[in-house]
Chains A and B, each alone.
Chain A
Amino acid sequence: MDIINEFRNVLNDPYAYAGEWKKKNGKKVVGFFCSYAPEELVLAADCLPVRLFGTRDNIVHADAHLQSYSCSLIRGALEEALTGRLDFLDGAVFPHTCDSIQRLSDIWRMNMKFSFHWDVVMPVKLNTESAREYMRDVLHDFRDELSSGLGVEISDEKIQEAIALYNRIRSLLKKIYEIRSKFPSVISGSDMHAILRGSMIMDRHELPGRLEKIVEHLEAESANAEDSSAMRLMFTGGICDFPDIFTVIEESGGVVAWDDLCTGSRYFEGSISNAGDPVSAIAERYTSRVICPAKHASVTSRGENITELAKEHDIAGVIFLYLKFCDPHSWDYPYMKEYLDRAGVPSMLLEVEDRLPSEGQLRTRFETFIQTL
């Protein structure tokens, strides 16, 4: 699909895209690493929020600041910054999630001289009235800091426009995911990945139009879709920056029918109310969205969620996809696996350091797993 190629192109060189966008629009680019980043406010400030990942290059400079026992996201991100490849950025926003991102924020702030640095220290627990109120306060503070830092007014109207835009984008992404779940043969995993990832980089105003075209196309395709005989799998984990993994899964007889990933369903889940104070409405989404393991909703919410998703999407097997040294996800593994075991859903664990294992190794692992299903 041509329109998907646009997403692929952006993904191939996101920095070039962001640099050109800057030149064309004369506006600012703000980097972020986490799905808790309040993009809506960044957009309302007329900036382009660009999600950053690790590095495709070797780690050379980051070793002088981060020990090897930290994840490839923070080491890679710092590497990109230190080499100058992120010089197009005007700044970055760091919502509070895990210990590693917390220290990356300090090290980044101490070593890089971007024009802006925003820490948004969101609550870790999300299940009390005090936490809900603090989330609202933190976002109000962020709006003020964005406004004074950038020297722009961020009116309620602008925020409401941003909310409406993000609601559209997210519901379209969700629609695409739902089509994929029902008719896995109409779109490949790597195309799906490109769409998600591209949506975290591209001009958000252009996104709904592009995503709508994709939905139209996929709906048309699904009318004649063949039944897929592939084993229905689900990823659970943090970030997935591995487009190739989908191809290997598909060649091994599987298909990723849904996911519980920071860069997957948790990225688009949850719409924002357009009633009342817009900043508080945004806060509500981040407070009630399905959590990542660095947050707390209840002691069993993630186990329950993964079990429900597996049932809802008729999942034959779950793949825990973790970055090595990702503590929050790693801590949840035994109990989430136990929930899946009890529900009769087999699972496997794939830990990735910075690159996927060789294709051959990966294929063997997936084929072996899929055969047991």
Chain B
Amino acid sequence: MAEETKQKDPGAEERKIKSVKRMKEIMTGYYIDAKTARKNNNKVAWITSGGPVEPLIAMDIIPVYPENYGAMIGASKMGVELCEKAEEMGYSRELCSYARGDVASAIVNGGPIGGLPEPDLLVCCNNICGTVLKWYEIQARYFNVPLFIFDTPISHTNFSDSARKYVRSQIDEYFEVLESVTGEKFNYDKMGEVGKLSVETQRLWQAILDTTMHRPAPMSAFDAFFHLALIVTLRGTQTCIDYYRELLEEMNQRIASGISAVPEEKYRLLWDNLPIWYKTRWLSDKFASHDTCLVADTYTSAWSGSVDMLKEEDFIESMVDGYSRIWLNIGTDIMAEGILKMIDKYDVDGVVMHSNRSCKPYSLGQYDLQKIIMKERNLPTLFIEADMCDERNFSESQVETRIDAFMEIVKEKKASVK
């Protein structure tokens, strides 16, 4: 059950999260390092968001995340233009907008930082979807660099021994690829250290996400969407640990002082699916106008969801389960169990599902999840039909109407329960 403290209204300025400034500095520094890698004789690898980054860090390869760039493209409202460019190149408009945006961005050096630095290696882990395979094949042809595929079979109902064996053998393949790209032997010592740091980062991230169990929540899912970038891009580094310690500290202070994400939190909701990157502020304000806080989400928690499977003292072996049995790489009914747990943990009054055209593994099955949520918890679910990066698929007036109508239902339900 969520703890409660008396809510203060310190005003919008004080409500702002202070750590944001430091976060922006870190991300800027990170992208500068990545873009100047070649000059500094460093190698760059592009890697999928669910991919095992620790071995790259152990080999001093700078990891770059086209998906993180996709989020930045969406947030800077550059998604439509880049997607249209991809369509001119022959890519269907129905395809994932992250991938469309990145394929176009590589050609035109697009997006908010004028394109990503060219990769020396591509690391594609399909634990999140099958689209990344096609995306990375395209970039492998375009940049003419090695492509390593880390193939993590889905656990519809369970993770088979055969799959476990397969994934384990691919870790060795991965190390061999890194040796061949760098010309160095795989650094097992550094890998051990990075593994420990990675586990600690994930624990810290989870602790930060756990602060929103508090009533009122010191931050919202929309804040989590922003602060997520570090655990995605800098997982396994001291920088990441230092920052998340700072952020966790700030959250705990806010709880102690009664500073909340939403001035008057009366209703709490759970978000499912990727963010709508070009509308996070609008959505946050819209829900806040209903005294509603999106206190948790299934997306950001995916980056610490495996932390119980990872073992500091045996990181390499534990990577097999840790990277295979992640949120999207499991059966829809297993995801349902996870959602029910989050509903209880964060004590929410309803669920908001982003039906994201760009992400089939995340979106197909949501209708069944909605039914299960109603049946098992008697809670309503709002569907927002959109796309994470391509704004052409978002209809503001329609979504606004839906949110208002949904909040009426939430309020009525809550009032009737009292």
Contacts and interface: CB of A to CB of B under 8 A. Distances in A.
Interface of A: 64-67, 69-70, 96-100, 102-107, 109-111, 119, 121, 123-125, 128, 130-131, 133-134, 137-138, 140-141, 293-294, 296, 299-300, 324-325, 327-328, 330-335, 337, 351
Given A96-B154, A103-B360, A103-B361, A331 B135 contact: yes
B173 A128 contact: yes
B162 interface: yes
Contact of B92 (A107, A124, A333): A333
A343 to B, nearest CB: 16
B163 A134 contact: yes
Nearest to B150: A125
A70 to B, nearest CB: 6
B165 A134 contact: yes
Interface string B24-46: 00000000000000000000000
Interface in B100-128: 126
B295 interface: no
A78 to B, nearest CB: 10
Nearest to A293: B134
Of A69, A96, A107, most B-chain CB atoms within 10 Å: A69
Contacts, number: 141
B91 A331 contact: yes
Given A331-B95, A334-B90, A125 B151 contact: yes
Interface in B128-147: 129-131, 133-135, 137-138, 140-141, 147
A122 B157 CA distance: 15
Given A130-B166, A299-B140, A121 B160 contact: yes
B340 interface: no
Contact of A103 (B99, B141, B163, B364): B364
Given A99-B130, A327-B360, A299 B137 contact: yes
Contacts of B130: 97-99, 102, 124, 294, 327-328
Majority SS of interface residues in chain A? helix
A19 to B, nearest CB: 28
24 contacts: A67-B355, A70-B360, A70-B364, A96-B154, A97-B130, A103-B360, A103-B364, A106-B156, A109-B331, A109-B333, A110-B368, A124-B130, A125-B149, A128-B170, A130-B169, A131-B151, A296-B137, A299-B140, A327-B95, A327-B130, A328-B130, A332-B134, A337-B90, A351-B92
Contacts of B163: 121, 134
Given A99-B361, A327-B96, A335 B126 contact: no
Contacts of B360: 69-70, 99-100, 103, 327
B156 A119 contact: yes
A128 B151 CA distance: 11
Contacts of B95: 327, 330-331
Given A131-B151, A296-B149, A299-B147, 12 more contacts: A70-B364, A98-B130, A99-B130, A99-B361, A130-B169, A131-B166, A133-B169, A137-B162, A137-B165, A294-B130, A327-B95, A332-B134
A294 B134 CA distance: 8
A141 B333 contact: no
Contact of A69 (B151, B169, B357): B357
Interface centre among A96, A125, A331, A332, by most chain B C-beta atoms within 10 angstroms, is A331
B363 interface: yes
A121 B158 CA distance: 11
Given A99-B130, A324-B94, A107 B365 contact: yes
Nearest to A94: B156
Contacts of A100: 360, 364
Indicate the size class of the contact surface on chain B: 35 or more
A179 to B, nearest CB: 35
Contacts of A123: 151, 153, 166
Nearest to B334: A106
B169 A103 contact: no
Contacts of B135: 331
Given A107-B332, A128-B173, A134 B166 contact: yes
B89 interface: yes
Q: Pick the 10 closest A-B CB pairs, nearest first.
A: A331-B134, A334-B90, A137-B162, A134-B166, A103-B364, A106-B332, A130-B169, A121-B153, A99-B360, A330-B92
A65 B135 CA distance: 27
B287 to A, nearest CB: 23
Nearest to A141: B162
Contacts of A65: 367-368
Nearest to A128: B173
Contacts of A325: 94
B94 A330 contact: yes
Contacts of A140: 162
Contacts of A327: 94-96, 130-131, 134, 360
B405 to A, nearest CB: 20
B162 A134 contact: yes
Nearest to B100: A331
A325 B95 CA distance: 8
Nearest to B359: A99
A296 B364 CA distance: 24
Contacts of A97: 130
Max chain A C-beta neighbours (<10 A), residue from B91, B162, B355: B162
Contacts of A334: 89-91
Contacts of B134: 293, 327-328, 331-332
Contacts of A99: 129-131, 360-361, 364
A300 B141 CA distance: 8
A119 B368 CA distance: 19
A103 B330 CA distance: 10
A269 to B, nearest CB: 21
Contact of A102 (B133, B151, B361): B361
